[in-house]
Chains A and B, each alone.
Chain A
Amino acid sequence: MKGSLTNTGAAVRAGAGGGRDAWVAVVQAVVFFGVVAGAWEAGSRAGWWNPVLIPSPSDIFRYIGEALGKGELQSACYVTMRRLVFGYAVGILLGIPLGLLTARFRFAANTLGVLALGLQTLPSVCWVPLSILWFHSNPEGAMLFIVVMGTLWAVLLATDHGIRQIPPIYRRAAATMGSKGFHLLWRVLLPASLPHLVSGAKQGWAFAWRSLMAAEIYVAISTGYGLGHLLHFGRELHAMDQVAAVMLVIIVIGFAADKALFSPWERFLRRRWGLTV
């Protein structure tokens, strides 16, 4: 048995050396953005383009500094994130159980499943006019609705697909060990569809983020200014440094949230399943 272990023990323990690769990636990215920003700044100073239309990096960072000093940017970020996280959570908490339903019951698939397929193709910005009408006295409700519409269908469809593609052998193996009902769902079906759940949640997040920005730009609001509003006011004031700065912040938050929310799951999938999503 010992002999066979060393023979068959040529198990792939890949993934080492990742640390250095990561450093190379960071250095390359930093150099790239440094060069771009440097050239941009130089071009602005040399007067190659109109600084009102294309603000220089230093103008953008000056605005960010001022807005941070006034607390305006932090509060906008907070308001936006609060809306996003809440709407996203609702979308996930509805989408996963509904996806389980459509995967399990033919009737749900023929009704709700078709509805989800249809609504998923609709960019959730298209909900803005209707939701403003429906929730006219309740702008937070309108935004919540738009974010949920952005998240829900993607998550529902990913859950449905994830459950359907589970190899039947997992269920059978689990059944022979006495797993059924809730245990089967929680310990087998959901984890077995995890790769699909993660990519669905990621897609839902991207949709939610986009639709919230659209909603904040369109929906007139009295209950707190988000990043979308700062962008909107920047345009109204012809303050392109503000517009560009808010865009930068939106990019950075989207990027950081994506990393913070999904990287742990993706690392887990890579390490445990040997998958890349």
Chain B
Amino acid sequence: MTIEDELHNAAPAKLTVDRVTKVYRGKRQDVKALDDVSLTVGEGEFVCLLGPSGCGKSTLLNLIAGLEQPDAGTLTADGELIEGPGRQRGVMFQEHALFPWLDVTQNVLFGLNLKPNLSDEDRRGVARAFLEIVGLTPFANSGIHELSGGMKQRVALARALAPNPQVLCMDEPFAALDAMTREQLYDDLQKIQQQRRKTVVFVTHNVREAVCLGDRVLLFTPRPGRIRAEFRIDLPRPRNINDVAVAQLATTITTELKRLLKAENV
């Protein structure tokens, strides 16, 4: 394999979630985090999972990532059963989850080092390329604690993208950032998605964020976690979170979400 192959974007995968149920067994009571949930995500589609906290969004994302196993139902990526975590599906969490014993470049290299058939030089080249993409070249040798919150999430994005996954799972990756940093990252993420199209599953409880980023927004309601509505977002890209069209659509979705939650008495 050459560095050109490696930098060439992997074909995004199609995801299917078929009648998936997930129950967490508790001491006092069991929690049905997901109840009979089905969906498909097309190749290269950007899907946002939206809903109040506790409605099973993270659970679904973890199932897709392979970090958890369903109690019923199946999940597949390009027709293959998802049986565990793997580098075909990169994950970004709300906490940056970067390794403090490694510097920025070494963090980006972590997943690359686990890929066979690459020379160390190629790996370094790929890491450099992704640090460039997220705009952190000057910080290549910094320690993680030296970075701001937004920069840490950029490194986490570069680390998730570097092994060239087909799917990117993002669990409220910007929720802990201030508004200005977040807006910058919306722009960057859209730009990156244009260059290196991935199938993206993006969890958020921020309606505007979902409208700004998603091709499609799925509405969740809790207890038990279910998908109750979906919205296709056909606004032109790149989108700005402060656009009137985004705000209007966000209002429509918020109204619908409130109606659903009220109907369920939660």
Contact = CB atoms under 8 A, between A and B. Distances in A.
Interface in B48-87: 65-67, 84-87
A25 interface: no
B111 A178 contact: yes
Given A173-B93, A176-B87, A178-B87, A274 B146 contact: yes
Interface stretch (A5-13, A150-158, A231-239): A5-13
B188 A1 contact: yes
Contacts of A170: 97, 99
A2 B67 contact: no
A169 B144 CA distance: 16
A273 interface: yes
B99 A1 contact: no
Nearest to B148: A8
A167 B86 CA distance: 20
Given A173-B97, A177-B111, A192-B101, A5 B135 contact: yes
Contacts of A271: 143
Interface in A1-40: 1-5, 7-13
Please tell me the size bucket of the interface on B. Answer: 35 or more
A203 interface: no
B163 interface: yes
A177 B163 contact: yes
A187 B138 CA distance: 25
Contact of A273 (B110, B143, B163, B187): B143
Given A4-B150, A176-B67, A272 B100 contact: yes
A174 interface: yes
Given A178-B114, A183-B114, A192-B99, A4 B135 contact: yes
Contact of A188 (B99, B139, B142): B99
B172 to A, nearest CB: 13
Interface string B100-111: 111100000011
Contacts of A85: none
A177 B142 contact: no
A8 B99 contact: no
Task: Pick from A8, A12, A175, A271 the residue with the most CB of B within 10 Å.
Answer: A8
Interface of A: 1-5, 7-13, 167, 169-170, 172-179, 183, 187-188, 191-192, 194, 271-274
Closest 8 CB pairs of A and B: A274-B145, A177-B111, A173-B97, A191-B101, A4-B184, A176-B91, A175-B85, A1-B135
26 contacts: A1-B135, A1-B184, A5-B136, A8-B184, A10-B148, A11-B146, A11-B148, A12-B145, A169-B97, A170-B97, A173-B97, A175-B67, A176-B67, A176-B160, A177-B87, A177-B110, A177-B111, A177-B159, A178-B86, A178-B87, A191-B99, A191-B101, A192-B99, A192-B101, A272-B102, A272-B144
Interface of B: 65-67, 84-87, 89-91, 93, 95, 97, 99-103, 110-111, 114-115, 135-136, 138-139, 142-148, 150-151, 159-160, 163, 169, 180-181, 184, 187-188
